[in-house]
Structure formats: structure tokens, C-alpha cells
Amino acid sequence: MPTTDDRLRKAGAAWRDHVDGTAPPAKEPSPRAAAAGPLELRRRRAVRRHRLVALAMVGAAAVTLVAFAVLAAPSFRGLGGGGGSASCAAPTLTAQGTTGHGDVRSGQTLTVTGLYYVTDCYDSGQRGDPPPYGTVRLSLARGTHVVGLSTVHPDHDGAFTTTVRIPEDFPTGPATLRTDTPAARELELVVTRATPSPRPQSSSSTNR
């Protein structure tokens, strides 16, 4: 009667025969691989790695260019193709005739220039030029004291130049030159009292 060890050896031999019968045949090396030496095989592997790295770099560059084109498209639409050429800068004021840090005297005349007084900046690719504001009112304010100075009509570029006069009785101190246009920048001034001109002295003669 076969022993346990005999049965185990027989089962192991049967299993090995089964595995050997179902395993795929060993792949024969290609003639080129068989002819190439170890150095040639390493060189080929290095070339393949370099090609993979180059392809990865090209792909990353392409993704970067596409992202840049998508982000920059609105700006290019606004600059070319008949789109709006106006800047999105807020309407601004400048004044000629001030001294120091915006110092002006009561009764003084100023030349005021306004830029970018347009109703839109056309930054979404609209065609044509953005329309200017029809009427812009300038005023001088110190706290709750507000005095109207001038009413102007910007040109087709949204610009204007006008002359205004600081009222004689305007309160002295920090003041703001502003317009009634939304989002327009104000101009900070400091109003000082005008120095009165010296009165000529009259001479009297005594007849003796």
C-alpha cells in the first residue's frame, strides 16, 4: 500500500506536469536583440527614455499655450477687430494752476481737464467706440458745503477741458473737486484765503 509520502510525491509530480503543459513556450529573442550586446541594449533604453521625456515636455508646453490663449482672448478681442479701444480706467480729473499739494486760493481760476468720461470701456469685444457721457457737472465740496462750478460736454473720446473759478467766500481747508459721474475719481484740493492786495496810501499836503 502506498504511503502518505508516496501519494504526496505523486500529486506533486502530476501538478508539475500540468504546469509545464499549460505554460506558454519561452519567447525566442529576436535576431537583432540576440546580436546586440549589453552596451547596445542600454543605449536603446536610454534613447527611448529621452523620447518619452521630450514628448512629455512638448505636451506640457502645448497645455500652457492653450491656457494662455483662453485667458488672453478677451484682451485681444478688446484691442483688435474693430472692438472698443477705450481704456477701462476710471474717469479722472486734473487741474492746472494749483500749487503745493493741490493748494488753491479763493477767487482763483483753474483749468480742469477730464479723461475717460465714457459710459463703458467695451472690454467684452463690442465694436465701435464707447459713447461718452452727454453732460458732466463739476462741483467743489467741503463737508456738506457744495458749490456747482461748471457743466461740460465730453467729446467722442470722453475728454473735456474747462475753466472754473473758486468762489471768493468758499470755506478754507481741504476740499474735493468732483463730478456727478459714477466711479469717477475726485481731485483733492486745499482752499486758502487770498491775500488782500495792499491799499495804496494817500498823501495829504498842508498849505501854509
DSSP secondary structure string for all residues of 99-118: BTTTEEETT-EEEEEEE--B
Helix-then-strand count for the chain, H and E: 3, 8
| Whether residues 103 and 184 fall in one domain | yes
**Which residues, listed in sequence order, are joined to residue 109 by a DSSP beta bridge?**
165
Please indicate, yes or no, whether residues 125 and 53 belong to a single structural domain of this protein: no
Tens place of pLDDT for every residue, the chain, 208 residues?
Answer: 666 666 666 766 765 665 566 555 555 555 655 555 677 777 777 777 777 767 777 666 665 664 554 444 444 333 333 333 445 789 999 999 888 788 999 999 999 999 999 998 887 777 888 899 999 999 999 999 999 999 999 999 999 999 999 999 999 999 999 999 988 999 999 999 977 656 666 555 455 5
Specify the pLDDT at position 88. 75
Task: Answer whether residue 14 is part of any domain.
Answer: no
Q: Is residue 5 part of a domain?
A: no
pTM: 0.52
> Rounded to an integer, what distance in angstroms lies between the CA atom of residue 87 and that of residue 158?
11
- 115 - beta bridge partners? 92
In contact, 16 and 8? CB cutoff 8 Å: no
> H/E element holding 71?
helix 38-79
| 135 and 66 housed in the same domain | no
Domain count, the chain: 2
The string of pLDDT tens digits covering residues 21-78 is: 655 555 555 565 555 567 777 777 777 777 776 777 766 666 566 455 444 444 433 3
- Shared-domain flag, residues 138 and 98: yes
Any domain includes 1: no
User: Tell me, what CATH number does 179's domain have?
Assistant: 2.60.40.1930
Specify whether 72 is located in the same domain as 37.
Answer: yes
pLDDT of residue 101: 84
User: Residue 105 belongs to what domain range?
Assistant: 92-192
> Can you give the pLDDT at residue 51?
77
* Predicted local confidence at residue 132, as pLDDT: 95
